Structure 1
Amino acid sequence: MADPRIEELTTEEEWDAAIPILKELWTDASDEFVRSWRDEDGYRLFGLFVDEELRGVVGLSIQRVLHHARHAWIHDFVVTAAHRGEGYGSELLDFVESWAEARDCKYVALANREGNDDALEFYEGEGMERWGYVVETEL
């Protein structure tokens, strides 16, 4: 088996290949909605491949807000269910941290959906700390 490689997904075909994996996280999202993210300013999607098989994706942007220094924000982070527990999440997170450092970020941050305890356990096991809560209202 080849070592995993991570590369940015830039073509329509690459994004289409990522849709089933992203929909493991965002089960209610339509394919068209997922495709529309490709046009969002600053959003970048990276895929983790083993041989030619896409096994995980991470969607990122760089942000700066008053309460936080320049940071990489993880919008989407998912390893396909068939390959969870094989170390690919750690590979992706290591990539994110290196990518963020190379862009002068001081932090990597994300929001973890309430009730997604497995993901929270993974992030904390990787050394990430809970900082606060995300609250929202639908418009």
Structure 2
Amino acid sequence: MSRCRRQIETSIGSESAVCRLEIREVVERDARREAVPILRQLWSDADPDEILAWTGEDDYHLFGGFVDGDLVAVAGVLVRRVLHHARHAWLYDLVVDESRRSEGYGTELVEFVEAWARERDCESVALASPLAKTDVHEYYEGLEFDQWGYVIEKGL
């Protein structure tokens, strides 16, 4: 369960710990430009203009997590239907700013994406992760994601 939503027992009863994370879709070019430095923490070799362009593609949905008006995390998602996956949301990008990691914001964004995908009749949320990123695999397994195969590619 997210750190933000867990129940805390106190001497006066039970209350929720609430994050101040506001999540909304980032659509306008200037707002997407604000997300580029965070996305470059994942895609460090990508050109900033290239990142800005792909976040504006028609089917790509960029969600931002804001704390007190500051963008601290982003998630990039596409809804697809392919033979090996029924209708699903593919989570291309999930990045929390390095200075704000381990505060529960990534989990909040994943939970948001799951709810958003359910509303669009998706049967799952899927993603790819490099084999060497075992900490990333453990993170998603902790969120009840299952590893079911490999992504295999060949550069052209």
In which range does the TM-score fall when normalised by the shorter chain? over 0.9
**In the superposition, relative to structure 1, how do residues 25 and 69 fare at CA in structure 2: closer, same or farther (>3 Å)?**
same
Shift of 1:39: 3.8
Structure 2: gaps spanning 5 or more residues? 1-17
The alignment status of 1:51 with 2:68, answered yes or no, reads: yes
- Taking structure 1 as reference, are residues 39 and 87 closer, same or farther at Cα in structure 2, changes over 3 Å only? closer
C-alpha contact (below 8 Å) 2:74/2:95 kept by paired residues: yes
How far apart are the structure 2 equivalents of 1:72 and 1:2? 25
2:80 equivalent to 1:69: no
Q: Give the one of 70, 82, 92 matched to 2:99.
A: 82
Q: CA deviation at 1:38?
A: 3.1
Q: How does 1:5-44 map to 2 (within 5 A)?
A: 5-44=22-61
Shift of 1:41: 3.2
Cα distance, 1:115 vs. partner? 1.4
| 1:2-58 per-position Cα deviation (integer Å, ceiling 9, x unaligned) | 621100011111111100100000010011110110342311101000111111100
Partner of residue 3, structure 2: none
Aligned length: 139
Identity of aligned residues (%): 47
Residue segments in structure 1 that go unaligned for 5+ positions in a row: none
Aligned to 2:138: 121
Runs (4 or more) in structure 1 with deviation over 6 Å come to: none
Change (3 A) 1:114 1:134: same
**Is contact 1:2-1:51 (8 Å) kept?**
no
Cα offset, 1:116, TM superposition: 1.7
TM-superposition CA deviations, 1:93-123 (whole Å, max 9, x none): 1000000000000000000122122211111
2:101 maps to 1:109 = no
**Greater Rg, structure 1 or structure 2?**
2
8 Å CA contact 2:86–2:123 kept in 1: the answer is yes
Q: Structure 2 length as normaliser, TM-score?
A: 0.85
The answer to whether structure 1 residue 135 and structure 2 residue 147 are counterparts is no
How far apart, in 2, do the equivalents of 1:55 and 1:113 lie?
A: 23
Q: CA RMSD in A?
A: 1.3
- Taking structure 1 as the reference length, the TM-score comes to 0.95
